C-alpha cells in the first residue's frame, strides 16, 4: 500500500507557535489547554497532523504524565502528532555534546511514549549573537562543523549511530536534517555520514530549503536532491525565491510558497517517489504567517503534486520508510 494525495501524512511545523502564554508562562510549562489551543489553530488551518517541533515544546523534558497530556491535547484538537523535530542540540557540540546526546536519547524515549515513529535530528548548533540580530538568521555565517577533523566526524558517526540503535530498538526512524556548514551541510557529506552510520532506520531529511536561502554560492538543488532522495525517510518541505548577481557578489532569498520558489517540488517529489520515498512530509515556513503558508503548501501538494491514485511505481529506498522495515 502506497500513500496517495489524499492520505499522505503531512504535518505542520510549529516554528511560528508562541514560546510563552499570554501570561508569560513558558509554553513548556503551560497548562495543556494552551497546547490544545495551538493544535486547534493548526487543525483549523486544515492540517490533520502536527510536527512536534522542539523549539516549541520539548517532549524530552516532559514527565510521562505531561507527555500524556500533550498527546491528549493533540487528540482533543483532532490532530495526530506522528513526528518530533529536535533542533540545535548537536551531539558534537564542543561544550554540550554530552547533555545533547542525553537529550537525544530522552527525545527518542518520549517519542516511544507518544507512539511516534519518526524523529528528526540535526547537527546545527545554537544561533550566534550576530545571527540573532538579523532579520533572517541565515544571512550571516553561523557555527561550522570542523570539516577536516576525522575525530569530530567519527564522533558524529558513533554518537548518531548510538541514537540510531536506540531508536531502532523502539521501532523509530531517525532522520538527519540538511543544514549548512555542518556534516549535513552538503548532499555528498550527508550521504557519507548516513552511509558511515550504516543503520537501516537512519536516513536523511532533505531540507534543501535550508541551503538555497544562503547569501553565498549554493549547491545546485536538483543535484542535491538527486543525491539524498534515496536516503530520505522524512522531509521538511519549504521554498525560497532567489536571485543572484555574482558579478556584484550579492544574493537575495525570500521565503516563498512551495509552488513559487526556486525548488520544483513537482520534480523532486516525483524523483523521491521513484526512489522509494513514503515518509512523512512536514510543511515549514519562516517569516510572516508561517501557518497560513504551510496550509497553502499542503493544499498545493495534495491538489497538484502527490499521486492521485495508488498503484503508482515506487522504487526501493536505501533506508527504511516505516517501522516494519527496520
* Shorter beta-carbon distance to its own copies: residue 89 or 242: 242
Contact stretch for its own copies (CB under 8 A) within 4-12, 172-180, 247-255, 313-321: 247-255
Contact stretch for its own copies (CB under 8 A) within 7-15, 56-64, 97-105, 251-259: 251-259
User: Which residues from 27-46 bind its own copies, rule CB under 8 A?
Assistant: 45
Is residue 19 a contact residue for its own copies (CB under 8 A)? no
Is residue 101 a contact residue for its own copies (CB under 8 A)? no
Is residue 131 a contact residue for its own copies (CB under 8 A)? no
Report in angstroms how near the CB of residue 82 gets to its own copies at its nearest.
24
Report in angstroms how near the CB of residue 140 gets to its own copies at its nearest.
7
- Which of 49, 232, 239, 297 lies at the binding interface for its own copies (CB under 8 A)? 239
Site string for its own copies, 304-323 (x = CB under 8 A): xx------------------
User: Which residues from 139-158 bind its own copies, rule CB under 8 A?
Assistant: 139-140
Report in angstroms how near the CB of residue 309 gets to its own copies at its nearest.
12
As given in the structure block, the three cell numbers for residue 99 are 547533555
Q: Rounded distance, CA 302 to CA 92, Å?
A: 38
- Which of 95, 247, 309, 313 lies at the binding interface for its own copies (CB under 8 A)? 247
Q: Rounded distance, CA 228 to CA 155, Å?
A: 22
Report in angstroms how near the CB of residue 217 gets to its own copies at its nearest.
9
Name every residue whose Cβ is closer than 8 Å to that of residue 24 and which is 6 or more positions away in sequence: none
- Which of 153, 183, 234, 265 lies at the binding interface for its own copies (CB under 8 A)? 265
**Reduced 3-state DSSP string for the chain:** CCCCCCCCCEEECCCCCCCECCCCCEHHHCCHHHHHHHHHHHHHCCCCEEEEECCCCCHHHCCHHHHHHHHHHHHHHCCEEEEEECCCCCCCCCCCHHHHHHHHHHHHHHHHHHCCCEEEECCCCCCCHHHHCCCCHHHCCCCCCCCCCHHHHHHHHHHHHHHHHHHHHCCCEEEEECCCCCCCCCHHHHHHHHHHHCCCCEEEECCCHHHHCCCCCCCCHHHHHHHHHHHECEEEECEEEEEEEHHHCEEEEEEECCCCCCCCHHHHHHHHHHCCCCCEEEECCCCCCHHHHHHHHHHHHHHHHCCCCCCCCCCCCCCCCCHHHC
Contact stretch for its own copies (CB under 8 A) within 93-101, 187-195, 200-208, 246-254: 246-254
User: Which residues from 198-217 bind its own copies, rule CB under 8 A?
Assistant: 215
Contact stretch for its own copies (CB under 8 A) within 93-101, 121-129, 144-152, 248-256: 248-256
Contact stretch for its own copies (CB under 8 A) within 128-136, 162-170, 173-181, 185-193: 128-136
**Residues binding its own copies (CB under 8 A):** 16, 45, 134-136, 139-140, 215, 239, 241-257, 259-267, 287-293, 295-296, 300, 304-305
Amino acid at each position: 500500500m502506497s500513500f496517495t494525495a489524499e492520505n499522505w501524512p503531512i504535518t505542520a511545523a510549529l516554528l511560528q507557535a508562541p514560546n510563552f502564554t499570554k501570561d508569560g508562562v513558558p509554553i513548556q510549562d503551560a497548562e495543556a489547554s494552551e497546547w490544545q489551543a495551538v493544535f486547534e489553530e493548526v487543525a483549523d488551518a486544515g492540517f490533520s497532523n502536527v510536527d512536534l517541533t522542539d523549539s516549541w515544546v520539548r517532549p524530552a523534558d516532559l514527565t510521562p504524565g505531561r507527555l500524556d497530556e500533550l498527546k491528549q491535547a493533540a487528540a482533543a484538537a483532532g490532530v495526530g502528532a506522528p513526528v518530533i523535530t529536535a533542533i540545535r542540540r548537536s551531539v558534537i557540540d564542543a561544550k554540550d555534546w554530552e547533555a545533547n546526546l542525553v537529550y537525544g536519547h530522552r527525545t527518542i524515549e518520549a517519542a516511544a511514549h507518544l507512539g511516534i515513529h519518526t524523529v528528526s535530528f540535526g547537527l546545527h548548533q545554537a544561533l550566534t549573537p550576530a545571527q540573532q540580530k538579523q532579520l533572517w538568521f541565515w544571512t550571516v555565517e553561523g557555527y561550522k562543523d570542523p570539516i577536516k577533523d576525522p575525530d569530530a566526524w567519527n564522533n558524529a558517526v558513533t554518537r548518531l549511530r548510538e541514537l540510531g540503535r536506540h531508536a531502532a530498538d523502539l521501532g523509530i526512524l531517525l532522520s538527519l536534517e540538511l543544514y549548512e556548514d555542518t556534516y549535513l551541510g552538503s548532499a555528498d557529506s550527508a550521504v557519507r555520514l548516513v552511509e558511515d552510520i550504516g543503520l537501516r532506520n537512519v536516513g536523511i531529511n532533505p531540507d534543501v530549503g535550508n541551503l538555497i536561502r544562503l547569501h553565498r554560492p549554493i549547491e545546485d538543488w536538483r543535484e542535491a536532491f538527486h543525491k539524498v532522495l534515496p536516503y530520505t525517510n522524512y522531509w521538511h518541505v519549504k521554498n525560497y525565491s532567489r536571485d543572484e548577481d555574482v558579478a556584484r557578489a550579492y544574493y537575495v532569498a525570500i521565503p516563498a510558497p512551495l509552488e513559487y520558489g526556486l525548488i520544483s517540488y513537482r520534480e523532486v517529489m516525483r524523483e523521491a517517489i521513484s526512489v522509494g520515498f513514503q515518509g512523512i512530509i512536514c510543511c515549514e515556513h519562516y517569516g510572516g504567517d508561517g501557518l497560513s503558508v504551510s496550509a497553502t503548501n499542503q493544499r498545493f501538494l495534495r491538489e497538484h503534486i502527490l499521486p492521485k491514485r495508488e498503484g503508482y511505481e515506487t522504487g526501493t529506498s536505501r533506508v527504511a520508510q516505516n517501522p516494519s522495515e527496520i
